[in-house]
């Protein structure tokens, strides 16, 4: 069925689940035009808007922080990390082969390739190229960006390959044959759109795409799910489910697990609420679970992850819990569940992964990872008695995560272990067959011996205890003099866990800087309640948390306001916009990337309508009353002294869109506010770039801007 990350959530956040994801231009209306002089910048590819972008880019490129020898050095150091052959080539198993997508200097758009386990264990494995994207682009005269594949199991010879024209979410989908390493002539093919597509069998697909006017939701995702038969035109596909325009997305998918084949339809009504149906004999039967819960069917089991308490069968299960029952029993009306995970004040379920016979839980304990293995009972008459064992944990201040399993055929699992100062390792094991083996180990890209990692807690404005990680030189003197970069996100139940970054190590830490990650409310570090604490009218609590961390860094003597910088992107860009407008006195410079900023217009821009459950609906006067308090675009004042700010976005971002950053920068400049910088990359979608060179340029610009302004 689905993983813990729901299909519609993956769509809206950009998680690749095969061929997901039409470029949607911003909408305009007369009422908005009457009081917004910068509305013309919402025309993504408009001539006037693009002229403005080119002028701004030229100014920024000539700035001291983006054109100096130091900038070139920073960019080259980062690019060396991104292109390094020493990186771990992470793999996913499909049958007897391990597949990997790889980008480097010689292959900027990437190679989709494969090898065997025996070969992969070698220091320098031999790879078989399945698709060379750069060669494809040369042959077709395109600039395709690889966006993932969905291969038909168990043979894994036919795949639905997704290619974006510019790195955005909208993709073309084409059927690909692995044995011949070629696209299938006359095979399944879909034009560029925000598409959801998946195999039923060799000759049938479930597909949601742009079928014509009215077929997409207001959030810009598929409204209609259809079944499409090979050899027939897309127009002949039969409708399985048709949602409403206000729904977030509709999808259908087939579970091909041998012996447990099932079909499902999922209707996301908003970002955190949905309905799931079992499709059987042409009829849809709704799974009777709370609308804000997520369901996962695996073999004979049904797992339910709760976002709010649920009383059922005479028992109340808490929010954040993972509960299990037998699928057929549940569909027959039985409501006997076993609690597989129950959170407490310090723990939350980060994720889980099935192997053929076991379930691996990834638990966060004050934002540090630990793993548990659960084994379901063999007796088909029972739901309880799951056996529980601890898996070897990760080092302190680290993250351990399951990156792949083979749930149809074996108990194989792949783990990655990493930390702020610990380069990642990749381990492979088979549950029940002893300790995992370390298969790959990435070398260090900077000297970690000079630094230490510590976790701190600060009390936010309302008394909430908020954690943050600090990476600093071991000999740090608490004299307030250190350039410090504070990073945050705080939204959509996304957790910020310890991670290794050669780019940050080289471009920030090696210079003597301090790097800090704030685990503010709105994220998922402490489960659904931590997220829900900063929803809609409570959004400012996330900003209060971030400000509290900033103030604590100064109070402890790590830095001072003039030496403290902040960085965030997407929802984190909205966080940065609020730091800029509400807490300008706390920061010496801010980097605001692919951001939301105009919260009055966000639901009318690109995929913005999909986030109403997170922020609220600004078209409702009652909700606008609280949204306007955290809408940076509306809260600018020409008399306020703002810290230097760099806005970064991409023309091809069809999720948040470039208009938000454009308008904010233009409005600030129009007010005569100094030290406002803007840069827009043409490609890359809602990310840092379409290739490593573009990503290195963007990251170097941010780090050198902040380093320069915080001196």
Residues taking part in catalysis: 570, 686
- Tell me how far apart the alpha carbons of residues 684 and 165 are, in angstroms, rounded to a whole number: 10
Beta bridge partners of 426: 416, 440
Q: Which residue has the tokens 């095979």?
A: 187
Residue 538 near residue 560, CB atoms below 8 Å: no
Instruction: Output DSSP code: residue 26.
Output: P
Phi and psi, residue 267, nearest 5°: -120, 105
Please name the helix (run of DSSP H) or strand (run of DSSP E) that holds residue 285, with its range, or none: strand 283-286
Q: What is the dihedral of CA 76, 78, 83, 87, to 10 degrees?
A: 140
User: Encoding tokens for residue 74?
Assistant: 């920073």
User: Encoding tokens for residue 358?
Assistant: 């076991």
- Tell me how far apart the alpha carbons of residues 57 and 37 are, in angstroms, rounded to a whole number: 21
Please name the helix (run of DSSP H) or strand (run of DSSP E) that holds residue 98, with its range, or none: strand 97-102
Contacts of 194 (CB under 8 A, 6+ apart): 11, 20, 21, 22, 24, 169, 170, 171, 209, 210, 216, 220, 221, 222, 654
Secondary structure, 3-state, 561-606: HHHEEEEEECHHHHHHHHHHHHCHHHCCEEEEECCCCCCCCHHHCC
User: Encoding tokens for residue 582?
Assistant: 């509400």
Residue 400 near residue 415, CB atoms below 8 Å: yes
- Tell me how far apart the alpha carbons of residues 175 and 189 are, in angstroms, rounded to a whole number: 6
């Amino acid at each position: 069925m689905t993983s813990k990350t729901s299909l519609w959530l993956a769509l809206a956040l950009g998680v690749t689940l095969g061929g997901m994801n039409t470029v949607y231009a911003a909408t305009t209306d007369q009422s908005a035009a009457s009081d917004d002089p910068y509305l013309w910048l919402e025309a993504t590819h408009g001539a006037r808007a693009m002229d403005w972008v080119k002028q701004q880019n030229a100014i920024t490129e000539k700035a001291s922080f983006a054109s100096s020898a130091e900038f070139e050095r920073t960019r080259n150091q980062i690019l060396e990390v991104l292109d390094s052959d020493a990186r771990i080539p992470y793999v996913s198993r499909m049958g007897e082969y391990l597949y990997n997508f790889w980008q480097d200097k010689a292959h900027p758009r990437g190679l989709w390739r494969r090898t065997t386990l025996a070969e992969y264990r070698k220091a320098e494995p031999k790879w078989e190229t399945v698709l060379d994207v750069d060669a494809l682009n040369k042959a077709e005269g395109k600039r395709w960006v690889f966006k993932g594949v969905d291969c038909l199991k168990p043979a894994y010879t036919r795949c639905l390959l997704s290619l974006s024209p510019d790195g955005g979410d909208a993709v073309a989908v084409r059927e690909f044959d692995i044995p011949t390493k070629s696209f299938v002539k006359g095979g399944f093919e879909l034009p560029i759109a925000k598409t959801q597509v998946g195999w039923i069998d060799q000759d049938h697909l479930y597909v949601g795409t742009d079928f014509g006017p009215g077929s997409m939701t207001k959030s810009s995702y598929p409204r209609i799910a259809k079944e499409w038969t090979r050899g027939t035109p897309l127009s002949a596909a039969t409708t399985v489910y048709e949602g409403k325009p206000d729904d977030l997305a509709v999808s259908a998918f087939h579970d091909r697990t041998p012996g447990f084949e099932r079909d499902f339809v999922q209707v996301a009504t908003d970002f955190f609420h949905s309905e799931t149906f079992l499709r059987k004999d042409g009829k849809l039967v709704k799974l009777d679970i709370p609308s804000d819960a997520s369901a996962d069917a695996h073999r004979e089991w049904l797992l339910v992850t709760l976002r709010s308490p649920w009383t059922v069968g005479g028992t109340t299960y808490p929010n954040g819990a993972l509960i299990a029952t037998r699928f057929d029993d549940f569909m027959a009306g039985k409501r006997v569940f076993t609690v597989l995970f129950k959170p407490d004040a310090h723990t939350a379920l980060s994720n889980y992964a099935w192997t053929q016979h076991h379930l691996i839980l990834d638990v966060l304990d004050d934002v540090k990872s630990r793993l548990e293995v659960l084994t379901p009972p063999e007796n088909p008459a029972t739901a309880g008695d799951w056996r529980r064992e601890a898996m070897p944990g990760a080092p302190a201040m680290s993250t351990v995560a399951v990156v792949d399993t083979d749930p149809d055929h074996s108990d194989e699992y792949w783990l990655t272990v990493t930390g702020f100062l610990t380069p990642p390792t990749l381990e492979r094991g088979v549950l029940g067959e002893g300790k995992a083996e370390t298969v790959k180990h990435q070398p260090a890209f900077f000297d970690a011996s000079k630094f230490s990692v510590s976790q701190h807690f600060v009390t936010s404005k309302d008394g909430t205890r908020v954690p943050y990680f600090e990476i600093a030189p071991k000999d740090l003197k608490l004299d307030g003099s250190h350039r410090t970069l504070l990073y945050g996100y705080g939204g959509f139940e996304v957790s910020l866990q310890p991670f290794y970054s050669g780019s940050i190590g080289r471009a920030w830490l090696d210079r003597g800087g301090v790097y800090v990650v704030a685990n503010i409310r709105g994220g998922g570090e402490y489960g659904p309640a931590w997220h829900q604490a900063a929803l809609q009218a409570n959004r400012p609590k996330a900003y209060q948390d971030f400000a509290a961390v900033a103030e604590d860094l100064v109070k402890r003597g790590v830095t001072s306001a003039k030496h403290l910088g902040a960085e965030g992107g997407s929802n984190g860009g909205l966080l940065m916009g609020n730091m800029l407008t509400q807490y300008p006195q706390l920061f010496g410079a801010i980097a605001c990337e692919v951001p939301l900023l105009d919260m009055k217009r966000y639901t009318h821009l690109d995929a913005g309508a999909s986030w109403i459950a997170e922020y609220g609906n600004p078209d409702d006067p009652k909700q606008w009353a609280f949204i306007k308090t955290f809408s940076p675009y509306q809260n600018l004042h020409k008399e306020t002294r703002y810290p230097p700010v760099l806005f970064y976005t991409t023309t091809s971002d069809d999720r948040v869109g470039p208009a938000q950053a454009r308008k904010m920068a233009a409005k600030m400049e129009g007010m005569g506010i100094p030290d406002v910088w803007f840069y827009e990359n043409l490609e890359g979608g809602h990310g840092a770039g379409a290739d490593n060179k573009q990503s290195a340029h963007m990251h170097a610009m941010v780090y050198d801007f902040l380093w320069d302004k915080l001196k």
